[in-house]
Structure 1
Amino acid sequence: MKKKKNKNVSNQKGRIVEEIVSLLHEQPGISVERNVWLPTSDGKDKREIDVLISGTIAGYPVRLAIECKNYGRRIEKTDIDAFIGKLFDLSFPSQYGIFVSTSKYTKGAIKRADHAGIRVLSLNGLTKDRLKEAIYNALQSVVYLLPVIARLAIFNEVPTMTAEDFMKFTDESGQSFILVDLLWQNWCSGKYPKDVGEHEIQVDIPVGFTQTLNGRRLNRPTIALTLHVYAVVVEIPGIAKQLELHNSSTSNIEKINIKLSFETPNGPLPLHIFKTEDSLKTFMESRSEKYKLTVGRIMIPRILTPGLVFWPPSQKWVDNLNNLIREKGNDFNSEKIDLSSLQGNDLLGAAYDAIWQGHPAARQKSDHSATDKNNTGVT
């Protein structure tokens, strides 16, 4: 029973090398076959090629024969001689032979292979028992850019204004917009810096628009915005498998394959928030995982007001606010309420919640959808 078990293990070791070598050579227009039996040149016998690669170069058919070994010892000159003999029996030019091993080669084996024109490759990336691919820790980091209005100052000709008059701008035709809408649109259109940190910005008001007080149009004000761009990092753990074919004669990497897999856990992901580029860089460089994949930087399509409420407000936030107003009745006092809490605990989720249907951006989207349906005949 023991011998049978060892034989099964040996077969398993051989198969995994053949599978990996086949995978590393797969590409469009190339045929990759495993365990192919070919007739010898005298037609009296057949011999097996572990991996046979077939293709055309400049219109001429070319075949490469790959010998795969998963021994617990070094490859010796006699192993190379045996492969050369097989190639000769099958009428393969020795230059079209490739020898792949999970173990190292003796100097004599490399010298013999070089003389015959055979490439000798070492396969790296298996477990110590060489029965499967080695697994390493991997980490995917997704970097989001969160804009926060740290300070907003408007300098005009009047000493005091209501919050509504302060934020509203109109033109002579009566068209109007809210200042925070302009800041949000400027961010989404890429007009503001994307470097992590604090930025002083002079806000340009569209020509023809200004504030109004008691029906009187004011001169165009000067608006100073302090925008703090934060980096919000989401980390998703995963695993990695890396396979390499090294040329034992030249020490060069001939082929490499890295397989990364990540599984997003259920529920809100833990977030890491950074105020500066230096703190973000230090954190990213401190990660100890062997394989690190960074995605970003992704601009969050909202802007955070000084009260830490996303703008435009979400339908969820407005619904929660209305429910709270109905619940509190005459006892409702906005100054005693953490308005940001109405967005929920999931920061990124709140940033991508549907916009409140009463906001112009949501109405425009709805109008566009209706127009598209009419144009395509959809009812």
Structure 2
Amino acid sequence: METPAPPVRTGLPRTAPTAPAAAAAASHPSTSSGTGATSSATGAAERAPLPFTRTVWAGTAARTRPAPQPEPKRIGPFTKGQWAGAVIVGGAGLLFAAGMVVLFTRWFLSLDFMQDFLATYPGEYELPAGAPVGIPPWLGWQHFFNVFLMVLIIRTGLTVRTEKRPTVFWSPRNNNRRKISLTLWFHQSLDILWIVNGVIYIVLLFATGQWMKIVPTSWTVFPNALSAGLQYVSLDWPTENGWVNYNSLQQLAYFATVFLAAPLAILTGVRMSGIWPKQATGLNKAYPVEWARAVHFPVMIYFVLFIIAHVTLVFATGALRNLNHMYASQDVVNWVGFWIFVASLVVIAAGWIAARPLVLAPIARLFGKVSGR
């Protein structure tokens, strides 16, 4: 009887075990048969090189994962492109809305009862008898000093609000523990100069009778202010003659700035400054510092908006004549006031550039100690 031939294995070709593997199999005869032998042979076969060369189909490129794109830089919640789009779309929307408001106001003022209202309240009322005419030189100088100090106060105030790690500090000579940043010292020093300038302004204002131009003396100031405001919105602006009298809307704005906003800025600034008594428990409870902080910043925003509106109207309602009123104390149309105004801007810019530790530190040392961290 013939013995049947063993089945032929298909698949990968058998390879002879390497010398170390053969020696290991000889030294461990128990693993030379059964499952162990099969695993060794299979492992060796899998590690052997293929008997053919692997190829890639023609026209097929190797697949690689693309590198991740970097995240676009954001300014706040949006990227630069998104901000540009928002400004364009928002600006177009505001321009359209402003145009609609102007058209509606012009139509509204054309109605008969509004024509009667404008005739009764043209936008200003007569000043009391004896009111001064013109703008004296001292008022022009006060105006310049006020603008110079206000610009630096606003700048240093914003710096103090956003400054996280000051590099230069100031402290009084007799109290090294009360250390504040050099920027805060400069801000408070400017505040003191601004208050002194304001006191001089108030004294001269009432001594010369100029107060009658910015303090309302008639209840008709309110309907006249409404009339002036409607005329501004309709772009048919009221007659400008600041040399003699301001319109009622200007008068209310100047009154609010001098007698309301300025005192609020002073009272809230003093509460947050180092001169406020820290141990006065009852006083601190009656006037919490949180209230001062909640009011001080909005008052600064008011001053910024007032300056923007004021400068815009100065240039839009007869720039040369208005600049002569404020800077040259004359009611003529020439370039004298304009060039004085330009010179004042140069001085303000120089102060802005000089407001840095290299320049401020020697001045601060005259009043206390200056140190690093």
Q: Tell me which interval the TM-score lies in, with the shorter structure as reference length.
A: under 0.3
TM-score, normalized by length of structure 2? 0.21
- Structure with the larger helix share: 2
TM-score, normalized by length of structure 1? 0.20
- Structure with the larger strand share: 1
Higher relative contact order (CA 8 A, sep 6+): 2
Task: Specify the structure having the higher radius of gyration (Cα).
Answer: 2
